Structure 1
Amino acid sequence: MATTEQPSPTAVLAQHGLTAEQLYDELTDDCTKVVRLDDLLYDAAERVPGVTPTRAEVAEERTRRLSEKTGIELAQGLLTAEILANPRTGRHLVESMLAPTPLALEHLEELRTNGSVDLGAARLTRRGRGAVLELCNPRHLNAEDSDTLAATEAAVDLALLDPEIEVGVFRGGVVDHPRYAGERPFGAGINLTHLYYGRLDFLFYLIRDLGYVNKIFRGLVAGPSSPAVEKLWIAGVEKFAIGGGCQLLHVMDHVIAVRGVRLYLPARKEGIIPGASNLRLWRSVGERAARQAILSGREWVAGQPDADLICDEIIEAGQMDEAIDARITALTSSGLINAAANRAAMRVGQEPLELFREYMATFAREQAYCHLSPALVRNLEEHWSADRRRL
């Protein structure tokens, strides 16, 4: 994979007499217009040819296996890192990614009328004063990929937009995999088969963590003068929470897990950065255990003493529906305003937006190199037999 042949975004911008900040101001009307990251980068490609790849170029790149990619997506990571590293433009971009998506707004009336919305890869159903979001990728054990991302983010948006919903619940949908048929795995993480065969764009990583994961953690921001709309979130974890599934537990307010569930961040075997786990995991388990998990592959099993730092409630198999209903009732008994206020106050000390912005600037740059590294291809073949799997 070629990652160094093309000039850096900084060099390309300099040839046009621009900086990343000036380009961002031009594309967002001096930080007054909401532009999502993917649109921003493709707008940049039209404004300054060569600074980042165009939509057509990325679409063509998607036809290549990971090992055969030309490396054009590196520029997306480097330019995003520059934008995020600037406090003014970076904050605006983070807040822009907290706005509700058009897909969610299209389905809001449907949710209010019917009490449920089926977006294919994600379903949202009202349940008392809460709503259950099911991640639905049955063939791939509820792994996340380009086919699930937009639907999942829209479902999170809808849970936050509907005033009748006070608590969100995230759980896996029923799968038809022979080994787990009829079960609800919480999440298998990133779809490694799609990654290996080049179907997963680099922007997946950034849009996921700046988008729906951060919305669960911080809520929605509808406009520059609008207060954030945030709600409590419950995770209902069955079978396993691997990779991205485990990352989601860091932003949940209450984690219900079936005894024996495997909680695991396979970052070392994959060769990529596990989202914002490097920023968040240590707050739950301590720095040493977080390093062991991310750098050496340490796992947790729900019900064992060390997993109590990740899980709030341990149940037996078959008790999840009852446990979810009870927790929704418990969390809504004192009202949404009190809960959201305490949640926001805790976040100020844990992870202010500026800290997240700085982290994501580093993440955007380093993950771009990881994504395009030959080591990632070797890891996928050695640890996951990706070359022997079918799409």
Structure 2
Amino acid sequence: MTTLDAARAPALEVWPALREAAARAEELVASLPAPGSRTAAQRAAAAAAKDAARALRVRFLEAHADAVYDELTEGRTVHLRLAELVAAAAVAFPSLVPTDAQLARDRGRRQADKEGHEIDQGIFLRAVLGSPSAGPHLLDAMLRPTPRALELLPGFRRTGVVRTPSVLLERRDGAAYLTMCRDDCLNAEDVRQVDDMETAVDLALLDPDVRVGVLRGGEMTHPRYRGKRVFSAGINLKSLHAGEISLVGFLLRRELGYLHKIVRGVLADHEGAWHARGVDKPWIAAVDTFAIGGGMQLLLVCDHVLAAADSYFTLPAAREGIVPGAGNFRLGRHTGPRVSRQVILQGRRLRATEPDARLVADEVVEPEEMDAAVAAAVARLSGEAVLANRRMLNLAEEPPDEFRRYMAEFALQQALRLYGEDVIAKVGRFTERSA
């Protein structure tokens, strides 16, 4: 009996057709040059074969996503993170998601030369996250602390300092100061930084001596901004061009990992677990110079945003061609629908001193006054009633089921955008200009 038979799902007539279509697509792809070198006719043939298999994947998962997820998680007794889940699915259901061998062939290729196997991961994860039963279980798995953070926690508790390649975390007077320090690339995020950010957020949440978290960019060595603090330049487009920005390891891990933990907290054993599932804390963002793309997305999950008077915020989704994470889900809550459409669809830049920017930032201060403003905000958010009210505000403003449904569709739409011809062309031009 196969693993699929053991899933005990009814009406499996789609499965043989899916396996056959997937095999045909794989055989055709193997006979063609790399995607970036194919003729128009070859690209069309490959797309048609892949689309035929993908239509069957969608049909199968519409009926059997819960049964597949239950099998992979042993009846939801095991909490698998995103990467672990798709890896397990690749072994148990190799026609449903790309295998390790298929992904290995793409590894090291430029984005333009990849086959787009992540689209199939997006189909799978849309079905799982869209399920009212499997989806919350996966979200909970992503809210658990990472093994790396648990390993570093005793040292952080003892010294109050952890330094990673991308982030410096320091505990001072009950506050955790998380400084993004990719000084060479203006804190443009890549896989390394996402891992470091989640580790730092976990540590700040798990340390009982921390009451408030503070996010800020460090001083840059970039020639144009040398000696200046910069909050974040968003996604690292050079890494995207090089094929190093993955759907599971970067785009979804970022949203369901450290950003979601800032909103909901981390799920871990703690005192008072009977009245609060997770350990959550208020967060402050201090924006110097600019918060672009993912940097602006960070502001939308924080409880208090400080902005230097000479800074600006923007979500350049139209220019980059991708979906700005959960920015579409959250920005309108702050600004209203008209401004959110101007920012996301038309690339509007909000300068800190203009009125609409105050819908995103709580305070605008002169650059030299930022340290004092941060200290005052930490004091205000250290009150005893802040946590309970913060939880209730987040529950009202970002209901878990609405977030889950948004992320389900995001999983597929972002996967499709990663392989859009316009995206590949734009990041290629950006990389050439940077060089």
Q: Give the TM bin, normalised by the shorter chain.
A: over 0.9
User: Normalising to structure 2: TM-score of the pair?
Assistant: 0.84
> Which digits, 9 at most, give the CA deviation of each residue in 1:312-353, with x for residues without a partner?
111112222222122112211x22xx2111011112221110
Deviates further, 187-196 or 64-73: 64-73
Counterpart CA distance in 1 for 2:156 and 2:47 is 44
Which residue matches 2:424? 377
Give 5+ residue unaligned stretches, structure 1: none
Q: Are 1:281 and 2:326 matched, yes or no?
A: no
Specify the alignment match of 1:347 in structure 2: 394
Matching of residue 254 in structure 1 with residue 290 in structure 2? no
> 2 CA distance for matches of 1:327 and 1:251?
16
Distance 1:9 1:229, change over 3 A: farther
Say how many residue pairs are matched.
384
Q: How far did 1:388 drift?
A: 4.1
The separation in 2 between residues aligned to 1:55 and 1:210, in whole angstroms, is 23
CA distance in 2, matches of 1:246, 1:106: 30
Would the alpha carbon gap of residues 85 and 76 (structure 1) be closer, same or farther in structure 2, given more than 3 Å must change? Answer: same
User: Are the counterparts in 1 of residues 162 and 168 from structure 2 also a CA contact under 8 Å?
Assistant: yes
Do the aligned partners of residues 327 and 185 (structure 1) sit closer, same or farther apart at CA in structure 2, a change above 3 Å counting? same
Q: Is the contact made by 2:310 and 2:367 (CA closer than 8 Å) also made in structure 1?
A: no
Which structure has the greater CA radius of gyration?
A: 2
The aligned residue for residue 206 of structure 2 is: 161
Question: 1:271·1:375 contact (CA, 8 Å) conserved in 2?
Answer: yes
Give the 5 Å matches for 1:197-212: 197-203=242-248, 204-212=250-258
What letter is aligned with 2:264? R
5+ long unaligned stretches in structure 2:
1-34, 36-45
Question: With CA pairs under 8 Å and 6+ residues apart, which has the higher RCO, 1 or 2?
Answer: 1
Kindly provide the CA deviation profile for residues 233-257 of structure 1, in whole angstroms up to 9, marking residues without a partner as x.
0001001000000011111100011
Q: Pick one of 359, 376, 381 that aligns with 2:406.
A: 359
For 2:94, what is the secondary structure of its paired residue? coil
CA distance, structure 2, for counterparts of residue 127 and residue 327 of structure 1: 14
- In structure 2, how many angstroms separate the alpha carbons of the residues matched to 1:83 and 1:261? 39
1:283-319 per-residue CA deviation (whole Å, 9 max, x = no partner) reads 1111011011111111101122221111111111222
In 1, Cα distance between the equivalents of 2:54 and 2:85?
14
Q: Superposition pairs for residues 22-61 of structure 1, below 5 Å?
A: 22-61=67-106
Per-residue CA shift, 1:188-215, capped at 9, x if unaligned? 0000011012111122111100110010
Match of 2:369 among 319, 339, 342: 319
* Structure 1 or 2: more helix by fraction: 2
- Kindly indicate whether residue 164 of structure 2 is the aligned counterpart of residue 119 of structure 1: yes
SS in 1 for 2:152: helix
Q: Say what the alpha-carbon RMSD is for the aligned residues.
A: 2.0
Q: 1:362 to 1:25 in 2, by over 3 A?
A: same
Deviation at 1:387, TM superposition (A): 3.1
Output aligned runs, 1:56-205, within 5 Å: 56-203=101-248, 204-205=250-251
In structure 2, distance between residues paired with 1:284 and 1:48: 42
